[in-house]
Structure 1
Amino acid sequence: MAFSFAHPYEVNPRYSRPVAYFSMEYAIHQPLKIYAGGLGFLAGSHLRSAYALKQNLVGVGILWKYGYYDQVRNADQTMNVLFQEKIYHFLVDTGIQFTIHIHGQPVQGKAWYLPPETFQTAPLFLLSTDVPENDYLAKTTSHKLYDADLGAQLAADIVLGIGGAKLFEYLSWKPEIYHLNESHALPLAFYLYQQHQDVGEVKKRLVFTNHTPEAAGNPETDMGLLHEMSFFGELSIDEVRQITHIDAPRLNHTLAAMRLAGITNGVSQLHTQTLRQMWGREAQLLPIIAITNAQDAQYWANHAMYEALHAGELTKLWELKLAAKRKLFEVVADQCGKLFDEHILTIVVARRFAGYKRMNLLLHDWQKFLEIIHHTTYPVQIIWAGKPYPTDGAAIGLFNHLVQISKSYPNCAVLTGYELSLSKLLKGGADVWLNVPRLTREASGTSGMSAAMNGAVNVSIPDGWIAEFLKDGVNGFVIPAADPQLPVEEIDRQDAQALYATLQQRVLPLYYENHTQWLSLMSRSMQDVRPQFDSQRMAKAYYEQMYLQIG
């Protein structure tokens, strides 16, 4: 029987304009492993809030056969990378297949469907090239999220962008707006131009969100290679130059997306300022607006803690926090053979292992680090977790360095498997959620939002969303940041010293000497993070400030 699709829930008239949302990764729920990190967590929360608000939005992604990777351990506890086939019986085989061209050759794409009621999300279609009609190379396009091979990356971009556009030719539901969540699906913009032959018509349909000032998130690729890969569809290089106003030999994917979109947004106020500085001199650009990222409180928040908070039962609130710590410490004991104490202040450093996030800043001054972990009056427990990019030798080396160091200390642990389930446990079990990126490098960062929803106190450099949230000493602690114009070595030295001073002089004494004040700060953090950083606010903003503003 042919797959029939109409939007499966009654749409709220305020959000009736049909929107197709394109993202390379989605963190929907632990069983669906098609995400790597923050971009996926953000996209998952967006789809959950679109469902809660009954928005007329449909997600498009890729069904990664091996996911991102499974983080496992070697015999000596260091990490290893495992690519294991994933099987999902809860996805619906739509039977829809279509042809796209990659490297000039026809490739078959197939669509799978995640219904809203499965995980309470907006409808999501996931594309795959792993079908019998394709040769092995074509099949591998949908095997690994963020494959290290450039050709495989570009092929995945084509599948998401052009394949996603073609999918809607087989459905009765048609989008009026196409939202690029990062530039991965950029081939969609060229496909839309092919259809309409008018940049103005493309701008009426396309919006774009940039998530990072980092070079890795703003790729540049040789124009000839992109044309050879069929990245531009049927367009010539001259046509692409004409519509993007990019005459350089390499195409900047972000700049091309910004020039073809009707509206572009950054994902925090600070990030948007950075984007304007990066791209402000470029002609042919529309103004860049700010829509700060957010996380779905319905999914992430500890609702029992919020009930206790709203009832003014602070003793119960603290008991629930201790219970959440004990749940996390069971994982610590299981993975590391260490028995942590729920009454000891626990610092969690958990995020993707990228250089600018400085996962090892606590170790910058070794003597200061030893002072902190050996202190008997103000004892601490430290947990690190995160998944480095699987071919990033430096990041994996740093992860393994932390593993080896932590072996010597009963109050330090490094956990593997930083996915949705472990992320929830870490946020529940953290007293302090530590965030120390180099200033201006973290576009938004969202893990601290969901940490605050679980009674964790943010101790952070004032970057990304933190600059809009954190009131020093009221709902968290600001680590004074060094001047970003200084040499990197000096920035790291100054920031490390500020981190040690913040922990030793402010955070630890408050936790142990003024429990009432700590509870007040924790409570204020839980209150302040909602509703401003609940993704329902964000999902509303995308409709009101982007989707309904063009066309």
Structure 2
Amino acid sequence: MIVSITPEIGIGELRNFAGGLGVLEGDKFYAAARLGVPYTVITLFYPEGYVSYAEENGELVPTAEGNLLDRLTYLGGWEVEARGERVSGGYYIYRAGSAAAVFVKVDAPEWAARATRRLYYEDTESDRFYKYLILAKAAVSYVERYIGWDNVRYLDLQEAYTVFALLVKRHPRARLVVHTPAPWGHPTFNKRFFRDEFGFEMAMEPVVLTELGLSMAQEGIAVSKKMVGQLCNTFPHHCHKIRGVTNAVEVPRWEHPALAGLKSAEELRRARERAKEEALRALGVEARGKVVISWARRMTHYKRPHFVLQLIEDVDRDVVFILGGRAHPNDRYGVEMMKKFREASARDNVYYFPHLDVETEKRIIWASDIWLFTPFSGWEASGTSFMKAGINGVPSVASRDGAVVEVMEDGRNGWLFGGNRERLLPLDSPDIDQNEYREFRQKVEEALDAYSSGRYWEIAYNAYVTFRSYFSMERLFRDYGYI
């Protein structure tokens, strides 16, 4: 049995994910079911979900998203100790073939239920600490009761917040999977929490969870080849146990049914036209006979949504823009970008979808002709939105970051711009941004010219073939040792 512990997962209609990690873990779940791999993924159930935005007096106001419990099956109750008190709740399960997703719902006491009510949203550092400690203890208890540690082939910990599991139960084949090189990927806590909860007098202050995880795990995994160097630069003393397993997507989940098994650029063109028309109709987007350019991702600074806003102003062609994504309420830049996306959607040729669930993202991809992937190079761990577009034969204009550089070749299966930086430079680097925006706009113009000339379909088909081969879950499962 493969056991994965994760803060978020995007499966079915559940609202238990905020961004790329949740969708990736959902893809692994569905791939395991399809491939017959015994797989259990454990996460918290967040009764209030993540965040939604309601319009009030012309402003976007954050509110709880809510969540659904009726698609889950109650398995049994659980009890653990945290903060010197008994914490209790229930295990709820979602099954698909050989895969099981286990949701840990916290019922009591009130402080524990409050701490786990929303994804990535806590009132205090104590709430944040105990939220993930409860997940770890309940996950360990689940494995002991329903699986047995001798039956666990790998214990994969997704992001540093799940490292608490190794303080509760060591496992010889535990692996820490790091999904971001950015500072928030290495969360810290005051060492007093570890003293109060475990009796440990930790040597470091604050305690860095990624450091703990890499120390205790058999292996550290970076989610792209490029990110291996970044992790080794941050944790050089653990570099001997860090390797790269580049992310992938579950092709059957993300491909349009008309796009399966195509053998030529002409077949792709005809199939894409059908898929595009259907998706535009479902989205309510009017773009018949026009090129559609899309930017749809989690809204935060390093992903540079301001690039597409400037592009809307600068492109003097008859194109339609589809925008998507939402920000964490505490991300001032992201919230401001949401407002600007909403203002831009007042134009006849701009559409904005703030709530980017899986079904909406699929339709945006299927409706698109050119996908935009614009992170500030050095900050993106992998990225998967360009993969989802590529396996549908939608080529990207992309910065040289994350997993892009492993497969994409400029002018062959997409268009590349900007430098390929290996380290985190400050995001407020206006000279870099200005220079890269100019090249970005030039590459978008090249893509539009290719569409006009018909050469676009050769590039689109090259993306279709190369992305399906490399960014498949079969390759990822082999690299992880699942199959």
Do both share a fold (TM > 0.5)?
yes
**Shorter-normalised TM range:** over 0.9
Match of 2:195 among 212, 216, 227: 227
1:311 Cα shift?
9.6
Aligned match of 2:248: 294
Tell me how far apart the structure 2 counterparts of residues 397 and 322 of structure 1 sit (CA, whole Å): 30
More strand as a share of residues = 2
Tell me how far apart the structure 1 counterparts of residues 374 and 20 of structure 2 sit (CA, whole Å): 16
Distance 1:285 1:475, change over 3 A: closer
1:308 Cα shift?
4.5
Aligned match of 1:488: 429
1:507 aligns with 2:453: no
Q: Secondary structure at the match of 1:237?
A: coil
Distance 1:25 1:181, change over 3 A: same
Tell me how far apart the structure 1 counterparts of residues 420 and 434 of structure 2 sit (CA, whole Å): 9
Aligned match of 2:293: 347
1:75 Cα shift?
4.4
**For each residue in 1:172-216, what CA deviation from the matched residue of structure 2 results, as whole angstroms up to 9, or x when unmatched?**
5444332101111111111124xxxxxxxx4x1311100111111
Aligned match of 1:170: 145
Which structure ranks higher in relative contact order (CA pairs < 8 Å, sequence separation ≥ 6)? 1
Tell me how far apart the structure 2 counterparts of residues 530 and 143 of structure 1 sit (CA, whole Å): 38
1:218 aligns with 2:186: yes
Tell me how far apart the structure 2 counterparts of residues 320 and 536 of structure 1 sit (CA, whole Å): 28
Q: Secondary structure at the match of 2:481?
A: helix
Tell me how far apart the structure 1 counterparts of residues 117 and 126 of structure 2 sit (CA, whole Å): 13
Partners of 2:177 and 2:220 within 8 A in 1 = yes
Tell me how far apart the structure 2 counterparts of residues 141 and 217 of structure 1 sit (CA, whole Å): 20
- Spell out the pairing of 1:437-456 with structure 2 (5 A cutoff): 437-456=375-394
1:314 Cα shift?
4.5
Match of 2:15 among 33, 54, 59: 33
**For each residue in 1:122-173, what CA deviation from the matched residue of structure 2 results, as whole angstroms up to 9, or x when unmatched?**
111110112xxx2322222331011132222212211221110011222254
Q: In the alignment, residue 23 of structure 1 is paired with which amino acid? A: T
Distance 1:72 1:294, change over 3 A: farther
Q: Secondary structure at the match of 1:441?
A: coil
Aligned match of 2:257: 303
Match of 1:380 among 302, 319, 328: 319
- Spell out the pairing of 1:179-218 with structure 2 (5 A cutoff): 179-193=156-170, 202=171, 204-218=172-186
Partners of 1:345 and 1:379 within 8 A in 2 = yes
Q: In the alignment, residue 74 of structure 1 is paired with which amino acid? A: E
Partners of 2:279 and 2:367 within 8 A in 1 = yes
Tell me how far apart the structure 1 counterparts of residues 208 and 268 of structure 2 sit (CA, whole Å): 52
Match of 2:4 among 21, 27, 36: 21
Distance 1:535 1:100, change over 3 A: farther
Aligned match of 1:155: 130
Distance 1:167 1:465, change over 3 A: same
Q: Secondary structure at the match of 1:43?
A: helix
Partners of 1:262 and 1:286 within 8 A in 2 = no
- Spell out the pairing of 1:340-489 with structure 2 (5 A cutoff): 340-364=286-310, 369-372=312-315, 375=316, 378-407=317-346, 409-481=347-419, 488-489=429-430
1:325 Cα shift?
4.5
Give the superposed CA RMSD: 2.2
Distance 1:371 1:94, change over 3 A: closer
**For each residue in 1:219-240, what CA deviation from the matched residue of structure 2 results, as whole angstroms up to 9, or x when unmatched?**
1221113433x2xxx3x223xx
Tell me how far apart the structure 1 counterparts of residues 253 and 27 of structure 2 sit (CA, whole Å): 8
Tell me how far apart the structure 2 counterparts of residues 314 and 116 of structure 1 sit (CA, whole Å): 31
1:497 aligns with 2:435: no
Tell me how far apart the structure 2 counterparts of residues 219 and 458 of structure 1 sit (CA, whole Å): 32
Partners of 2:295 and 2:308 within 8 A in 1 = no
Aligned match of 2:110: 136
Distance 1:355 1:328, change over 3 A: farther
Q: In the alignment, residue 355 of structure 1 is paired with which amino acid? A: H
**For each residue in 1:280-306, what CA deviation from the matched residue of structure 2 results, as whole angstroms up to 9, or x when unmatched?**
1x2x66421110001100111113123
Partners of 1:116 and 1:123 within 8 A in 2 = yes
Q: In the alignment, residue 136 of structure 1 is paired with which amino acid? A: E
Distance 1:127 1:394, change over 3 A: same
Count of aligned pairs between the two proteins: 477
Q: In the alignment, residue 362 of structure 1 is paired with which amino acid? A: V
Tell me how far apart the structure 1 counterparts of residues 122 and 219 of structure 2 sit (CA, whole Å): 31
Distance 1:311 1:428, change over 3 A: closer
Distance 1:387 1:309, change over 3 A: farther
Tell me how far apart the structure 1 counterparts of residues 380 and 156 of structure 2 sit (CA, whole Å): 22
Unaligned residue ranges in structure 1 (runs of 5+) = 1-17, 194-201, 242-246, 333-339
Distance 1:321 1:89, change over 3 A: closer
Tell me how far apart the structure 2 counterparts of residues 361 and 59 of structure 1 sit (CA, whole Å): 36
Q: In the alignment, residue 41 of structure 2 is paired with which amino acid? A: G
1:256 aligns with 2:236: no
Quick check: 444-453 or 104-113, which moved more? 104-113
Aligned match of 2:78: 97
**For each residue in 1:348-368, what CA deviation from the matched residue of structure 2 results, as whole angstroms up to 9, or x when unmatched?**
11111111111112345xxx7
Tell me how far apart the structure 2 counterparts of residues 84 and 206 of structure 1 sit (CA, whole Å): 33
Distance 1:100 1:285, change over 3 A: farther
- Spell out the pairing of 1:105-116 with structure 2 (5 A cutoff): 105-116=85-96
Aligned match of 1:317: 271
**For each residue in 1:448-478, what CA deviation from the matched residue of structure 2 results, as whole angstroms up to 9, or x when unmatched?**
1111122321110011111012111111101
